[in-house]
Amino acid sequence: MTTTPAPQSGAETGVLARVSDVRCVYGGGEQDFTAVDGVSFELNEGEILGLAGESGCGKTTLGNALAMIAVPPLYVLSGRLGIDGREIDLATLNAADVKAHRPYRGTTVSMLPQGAMNAISPTLRIRSLVLDVMRAHDKNVAKDEALDLARDRLKMLEMPVRVLDSYAHQLSGGMKQRVITVISTLLNPRLLIADEPTSALDVSSQRMLVEMLLAMVEQRIMSGVVFVTHDLPVLSQISDKLAIMNRGAIVEMGPTAQLVEDPQHPYTEKLLGSVLDPTAETRRKGKEWLTGGSGLVRSATETAASGTSPSDTPKGATS
């Protein structure tokens, strides 16, 4: 597919995946919209990369490209994923490209899409979901074998095995999200792409999911995670490395603690500055605003000025 010689990602110890030059567009009749504009990064064995940015920055699009699940109108123009000594061409320009991705989907790279927990069929028990996932990969897998695997996994992660016999509506949101995470990693993918898995959850459920993901990486159920979210505090809990995306490009990347403590890019600084956590610092900021000056005139100007924020543009104009 590509003539570029494959970098020896397998030979270098420690490097799990090398992503280079991913470019994605949303196809329009007359004109395409570029959603991801040349993104490259490396992920080490056992690492979790946090991909953060505001809506429309291209983070979900990048996740879809990496998981090889891009469907029109999203087209991946270019991009390579070096993993396990193989060099996968991520481009999806024609049917042949898409077909070439099939053997990697779910095994090499698995995707936990946004809102997956609400997409579980209400009429089926969780166990049939397990079978679906396993059979999508191997048509001849035995029912008992698949369920045994799922049971083992659940036990391993200290989750109740009886969820397999439940229907989606009988489980809480947090439990649904954890179960679907376990199911989507049954095939031991090398890399898991998780898109906003915590966003619809309460803080307590968020924490349980984060802890479970950490345990899963620890036990090498998967060897690496790309965690996509807008929620910086969650990312700082879980990720080794943070990548901040804006307008389709990574503007800053580095070890989590370093990036949080000492952001270099003004956009990173702005994002970190707008985090509101229940601390004295937040309280002080709030009060400062109140005692800070001439009230509405100020907020009106400030608000009007914020129209330049990347995410503060009409929906259709962004990805």
Q: Which of residues 21-40 bind another protein (CB under 8 A)?
A: 21, 23, 25-29, 32-33, 39-40
- Per CB under 8 A, contacts with another protein among 35-64 are 39-42, 54-56, 59-61
- Tell me: does residue 10 bind another protein (CB under 8 A): no
Contact letters (x/-) for another protein, 203-242, by CB under 8 A? xx-xx--xx--x---------------xxxxx-xxx-x--
Q: Which is nearer to another protein, 74 or 186 (CB)?
A: 74
* Residue of the chain from 86, 102, 103, 115 that contacts another protein (CB under 8 A): 115
Q: Which is nearer to another protein, 140 or 308 (CB)?
A: 308
- Per CB under 8 A, contacts with another protein among 69-88 are 73-75, 77-78
Q: Which is nearer to another protein, 73 or 85 (CB)?
A: 73
Residues 6+ apart with CB under 8 A from 34: 23, 24, 25, 248
- Per CB under 8 A, contacts with another protein among 171-210 are 173, 195, 202-204, 206-207, 210
CB of 8 to another protein, least distance (A): 11
- Per CB under 8 A, contacts with another protein among 148-167 are none
State whether the Cα torsion 270-208-283-260 is positive or negative: negative
Coil, strand, or helix at residue 45? coil
E strand residue ranges, the chain: 15-26, 33-44, 47-52, 74-83, 86-89, 109-112, 191-195, 224-229, 241-246, 249-255
Spell out the long-range contacts of 61-64 with Cβ–Cβ below 8 A and sequence spacing 24 or more. 61/24, 61/26, 61/35, 61/36, 61/248, 61/319, 62/22, 62/24, 62/36, 62/228, 62/245, 63/111, 63/193, 63/195, 63/226, 63/228, 64/24, 64/111
Q: Which is nearer to another protein, 134 or 181 (CB)?
A: 181
Q: Which is nearer to another protein, 72 or 144 (CB)?
A: 72
Q: Which is nearer to another protein, 159 or 260 (CB)?
A: 260
Q: Which is nearer to another protein, 43 or 150 (CB)?
A: 43
H/E element, 257 = helix 256-261
- Tell me: does residue 11 bind another protein (CB under 8 A): no
246 neighbors 267 (Cβ within 8 angstroms):
yes
- Tell me: does residue 3 bind another protein (CB under 8 A): yes
CB of 26 to another protein, least distance (A): 5
Residues 6+ apart with CB under 8 A from 107: 137, 187, 188, 189, 190
HSE value, Cβ hemisphere, 13 Å, CA-based, for 178: 29
Tell me which stretch binds another protein (CB under 8 A): 122-130, 131-139, 185-193, 243-251.
Answer: 243-251
Q: Which is nearer to another protein, 140 or 204 (CB)?
A: 204
CB of 221 to another protein, least distance (A): 16
Residue 102: both structure tokens together: 């099939």
Q: Which residue has the tokens 């956590």?
A: 277
- Per CB under 8 A, contacts with another protein among 117-136 are none
Residue 216 and residue 224: Cα distance in Å, rounded? Answer: 10
